[in-house]
Amino acid sequence: MKTQIGQNIAQAADWLTAGNVVGIPTETVYGLAGNALNPDAVLTIFRVKNRPAFDPLILHTNNLDRLSEYVTELPEPARLLAERYWPGPLTLLLPKHERVPDLVTSGLPMVAVRVPNHSLTLSLLASLDFPLAAPSANPFGYISPTTAQHVADQLGDQVPYILDGGPAQVGLESTIVGFEAGKPVVYRLGGMALDQIEAITGPVDVRSHSTSNPKAPGMLSSHYAPRVPLTLLSAGSSPEPAPRIGALAFRQPFAGIPLPQQRILSETGDITEAAHNLFSYLRELDALDLDHIYAETLPGQGLGAAINDRLRRASVR
């Protein structure tokens, strides 16, 4: 089966209705989507990604009004967040409806749900009578894809169709927010900054620690990793020069490393631009003939905390 890349929403819908998986664009990263209510389609997602079944998936729908079909409860803070930030890079962890297969939630009673902010995928979702389960469209643990070609390069003929929506605008996965005893908890830092969430809910508890028994997607200790070993550097430090090392720097290149073996996330220090470039630049460095990649941590405010989280997970071998 040869993979097709295009913008034909009806064709993507036909594949999904038939129980197949397709690549879909979102504002965060590209997803590997299947019918979330069809266990066979969900199993295909796990198989194609080689994803462990204990790592739950995110369910995607096209508007807040359809949420009651998939969850049994919407706490007031969650409703306020959804009204303010959907469509957008925010995932809510809520009590699941019995019609959502346990396979989607890895047997947990909560389901992660979001409304992606991409016109093609919103149109696709509106045309379907089922939601889509859609983790990032990459082999499990590898760098997340931010273009349709990235999906084709790494999943190839296992995906019959990839809906091409251009480069992902945010470039980081969604922020995941749940609620414990009525209090908001962030389980994964991502494309929505904490201050945006706290503007609606008040202070949040951040629990995006590494775990082998995740409550939400994206909590595993090793994730988003290049094949070449990666080491984190604190701001102001630099690696020892060597001929076969590469570097991912925030604002300016490191001395002693050939410039073709470096990528600068944002020369102006724009954290949003850095997030947009993160996975693409990691992928480019991984494609070079290198023995090691060094990555500089960013200021921890706003999206910088989410970028550092991804780099830390990418450095775990």
Nearest to 88 by CA among 148, 162, 170: 170
292 carries a ligand binding annotation: no
174 carries a ligand binding annotation: yes
Cβ atoms within 10 A of the Cβ of 113, count?
Answer: 27
114 carries a ligand binding annotation: yes
DSSP 99: T
Torsion of CA 231, 174, 201, 100, to 10 degrees: -130
144 carries a ligand binding annotation: yes
Which percentage of the chain shows pLDDT scores above 90? Answer: 82
pLDDT value, residue 221: 57
Whether residue 213 is predicted with pLDDT greater than 60 in this model: the reply is no
Whether residue 105 is predicted with pLDDT greater than 90 in this model: the reply is yes
51 carries a ligand binding annotation: yes
pLDDT value, residue 254: 92
- The pTM score is 0.91
pLDDT value, residue 220: 61
Give, in order, the Cα–Cα distances in Å from 168 to each of 77, 221, 225, 264, 278.
28, 24, 19, 18, 11
Whether residue 317 is predicted with pLDDT greater than 90 in this model: the reply is no
Q: List, in sequence order, the alpha helices (H) in the chain.
A: 9-17, 39-49, 76-85, 102-105, 119-127, 148-155, 194-201, 271-286, 303-314
Q: pLDDT category, 214, cuts 50, 70, 90? A: low
pLDDT value, residue 218: 67
222 carries a ligand binding annotation: no
234 carries a ligand binding annotation: no
> What are the structural domains, with CATH classification, of the chain?
4-206 (3.90.870.10), 230-314 (3.40.50.11030)
Nearest to 255 by CA among 294, 311, 300: 294
pLDDT value, residue 147: 97
Residue 98's SS3 state is coil
Whether residue 210 is predicted with pLDDT greater than 70 in this model: the reply is no
Whether residue 265 is predicted with pLDDT greater than 90 in this model: the reply is yes
Query: What are the pLDDT digits (tens) for 31-60?
Result: 999 999 999 999 999 999 998 888 899 999
Q: Judge contact between 81 and 197, C-beta under 8 A.
A: yes
Q: Judge contact between 48 and 155, C-beta under 8 A.
A: yes
84 carries a ligand binding annotation: no
